[in-house]
Amino acid sequence: MTAADLAIANPPAGDQDAAIARTRRHVLWLTLILVVTAAAVLAYRTHALFEAELAPEVMLKSQTIAEFLAGDIERAVGYGIPIDELVGVADYFEAERAEHPEIEFIALMGPDGKPLDIAGAYLDEDETIGAESAARQLIAGGAAQGDPANSHGFYLALAPVNAGSRTVAAVVIGTDSHFVRRQLQELAYDVLVILLVALFLAFEVAVALLATKVVAPIDQLVTLMRAARAGDLGRRIAYRANSEIGRAIGSFNTVVESLNERYGRLGRRIGDGVAAEVKARFQSVGERFGLAAAGAVAARAAPSVTDVRLPLFIFILAEELQKAFLPLYVRSLEGSISWLSPEILIGLPISIYMATLALATPFAGSWADRYGTRPIFLLGLVPAFAGFVGSALASTVVELIVFRAMTAAGYAMCTIAAQGFIVQVTASRQRAQGVSSFVGVLMAASICGTAIGGILADRVGYRAVFLCAAALAVVAGVLALRMLSSDTAEPASIQRSRFRLADLRLLLANWRFVALLLFAAIPGKIVLTGYLFYAVPLVLASLSASESEIGRIMMVYSIVIVLLGPWLSRFADERGHSWPMVFAGTLVSGLGMALLYFRADAYGVLAGVVVIAVAHAASISPQVALVPDICKREIEKIGQTTVLSILRMVERAGSVIGPLLVASLVAQLGFVDGLAVIGLGIAALSFLLLTAFAGGRGKREA
């Protein structure tokens, strides 16, 4: 390859970019299809294996327990106590049954097959024939006939009680066959959740690898080849890989380095003994084509939004692991505050976390502007890691509150640094797309973290989940060290304005802004933290739901937001229905909190989560869209970014108030009535918002 080869006619730049984009999409989709297919096959095989093995294992366990209990009864009978005069048998059986949730009843059957002592819910009258017949046959010295392993929905395990050489009784254990089905159903749900997490994780990893190993090198090669065609031959690509892309880049580098080396040799041969005109023409050629006697300059790939996606996803995933069980974990800790009710104490870690997050975010933004986004992201992982480890080791609620506040500070630093990185590496026309990518990563990590955190808590315990979060924070740090560029600089055109009380006073003088804040934004946050983060785990736990079930139900909120949010926002923008959407969202979210009043079970909780998610998907983005309309004069004075920042900062007061407000009413009225009162109150606030909207329209029409 020669310099002339670089100037061969190429397709237009637009066609090349489109081809690269198509290649990236095809490779990404192929990767995801392969991952989903492999995970689906693995999930199917795992479920089939458990289905084949679980029922026999449950039966074997019940048979072992029956034989153990029969042995204890035999020892008592061996002391000469008649089988029908034994005392305390039912209590002994009940203590054993309490440790095994799959066992419905344990019965001691006499020689006639009738029960002498029973623990648990025994069979109905028309269901006893098979079990008692099998017991009589066993006591008579024969094998149990029929199909006792599935009698009226029960797996029956029988063990003889012998007195010398004869059988005098039998221990019968009835295991609920539906227990096996429920376990398989739980397993299927968990496998589906793991499949979903694997899909999101595979997507993020594929995007990162595709960007760093394929798209960025190709983009850089195309860019420098275009530059070479235009006459710039002084830059080579700092990339090496044993792949087709690596070999293509190596060929390009060889040509560029060869040209620069020849230019350098020619310069040395010319030396000082030639005419000034010749040297000037020689230097002119070098400047024209970017050639240098010292050799080609190594050009590195420019940083992009994809550089921060994977570290941010892993970190947010770590933080979201606790969401499904945090109130339950608080309730399990020691310590109390005399002037606070237990309900408020449970909500306090959530409120302190939200307050710390709100207070730390402005400082984190200022630090990121001053010291750079990469150092602040890495520094933020330090308090986050310490908070995760401390939360795992906390023995009192106060200790947990301190460590959760540390985690909040780290979260603020990492997320604001990630946002700043995205703003720095994107052009102004692509900035909205970059921010959308940031929100997408947050929602995907929230879905995965909430669900997988519930599964882990159910299997390994609360403290172990916080340690897993700490490990993920370390992984995020390693990825950030490798993927985030250290030479990004804040563009001169992007300046963050400092928060001033005068700006807040200016906005609070706008009654429509205050109405939006008090009657929509703050109530929305109260619903989010008060209902979803605080009430849902506690209500479901009171209904005997496992942590896995809690995580799955809470995960639905983020899924609905992801699926409906963009569509509803686009609908509001196209139709100009921002005010009605905000009103409807506030009204419906309040009613969603009250649904538990009509159905106080897991389905009622799920319905509330879905309704609130739809309401927030419909109203959150339109709130932002309303700001330019209702704050035109304020935006002219202090800028739209400052106005939006104040809106987001002040609305977080609702995040702090939410758990404490719900806890206060729950302590007085209980969950059902307390949530209904708050929900109806928020629904009533929506009509005040409607009044502000109607008043605003009247003034505009006048």
Residues 508 and 649 in one domain: yes
Least trusted range by pLDDT, from 26-30, 233-237, 422-426, 436-440: 26-30
Residue 167 lies in a domain: yes
Residues 530 and 451 in one domain: no
Q: What's residue 470's pLDDT? A: 96
Find the CATH number of the domain harbouring 445: 1.20.1250.20
Residues 560 and 534 in one domain: yes
Least trusted range by pLDDT, from 7-21, 394-408, 434-448, 578-592: 7-21
Provide the residue range defining the domain that includes 383.
304-496
Neighbouring-strand partners of residue 120: 105
To the nearest whole number, what is the mean pLDDT of the chain?
A: 81
Residues 425 and 554 in one domain: no
Q: What's residue 699's pLDDT? A: 47
Q: What's residue 700's pLDDT? A: 45
Residue 625 lies in a domain: yes
Residues 291 and 308 in one domain: no
Q: What's residue 9's pLDDT? A: 38
Residue 310 lies in a domain: yes
Residues 580 and 698 in one domain: yes
Residue 400 lies in a domain: yes
User: Across the chain, how many H-helices and E-strands are there?
Assistant: 25, 6
Q: What's residue 488's pLDDT? A: 53
Q: Give me the phi and psi of 465, to 5 degrees please.
A: -65, -40
The pLDDT tens digits for 267-284 are 777 766 666 776 777 777
The pLDDT tens digits for 523-566 are 999 999 999 999 999 999 999 888 989 999 999 998 898 888 88
> What value does the mean pLDDT take over residues 596-602?
91
Beta-sheet strand order (sheet of 103-109): 115-120, 103-109, 166-176, 154-163
Residue 221 lies in a domain: no
Residue 414 lies in a domain: yes
The pLDDT tens digits for 169-206 are 899 988 877 777 777 777 778 877 887 787 787 777 77
> What value does the mean pLDDT take over residues 254-270?
78
Q: Give the total residue count for the chain.
A: 702
* Secondary structure class of 366 (helix, strand, coil): helix
Residues 22 and 167 in one domain: yes
Q: What's residue 8's pLDDT? A: 36
Tally of domains within the chain: 4
Residue found under tokens 């035999």: 74
Q: What's residue 152's pLDDT? A: 52
Residue 276 lies in a domain: yes
Residues 514 and 437 in one domain: no
Residues 135 and 245 in one domain: no
Residue 701 has pLDDT above 60, yes or no: no
> What value does the mean pLDDT take over residues 354-369?
86
Residue 4 has pLDDT above 50, yes or no: no
Neighbouring-strand partners of residue 151: 154
Confidence of residue 695 (pLDDT cuts 50, 70, 90): low
State which of 7-11, 14-18, 278-282 shows the largest mean pLDDT.
Answer: 278-282
Residues 520 and 634 in one domain: yes
The pLDDT tens digits for 78-122 are 888 888 888 888 899 988 888 888 888 899 988 888 888 988 888
235-237 and 297-299: which strand pairing?
parallel
Read off the DSSP letter of residue 123: P
Picking from 463, 496, 529, the residue at the C-terminal end of a domain is 496
> What value does the mean pLDDT take over residues 502-523?
88
Residue 222 lies in a domain: no
The pLDDT tens digits for 228-255 are 777 777 777 777 777 777 788 788 878 8
The pLDDT tens digits for 383-435 are 999 999 999 999 999 999 999 999 999 999 999 888 888 877 776 666 556 66
> What value does the mean pLDDT take over residues 140-154?
53
103-109 and 115-120: which strand pairing?
antiparallel
Residues 356 and 449 in one domain: yes
Confidence of residue 510 (pLDDT cuts 50, 70, 90): confident
Picking from 470, 496, 522, the residue at the C-terminal end of a domain is 496
Q: What's residue 148's pLDDT? A: 46
DSSP string, 463-512: HHHHHHHHHHHHHHHHHHHHHS-S-----TT--PPPP-HHHHHHHHT-HH
Helix 373-393 with 306-320: angle, nearest 10 deg = 20
Read off the DSSP letter of residue 501: H
Residues 83 and 196 in one domain: yes
Q: What's residue 672's pLDDT? A: 93
Of the CA atoms within 13 Å of residue 213, those in its CB half-sphere come to 12
Picking from 496, 530, 553, the residue at the C-terminal end of a domain is 496
Query: How many angstroms separate the CA atoms of 365 and 419, rounded?
Result: 9
Neighbouring-strand partners of residue 238: none
Query: How many angstroms separate the CA atoms of 296 and 236, rounded?
Result: 6
Residue 264 in tokens = 């350098």
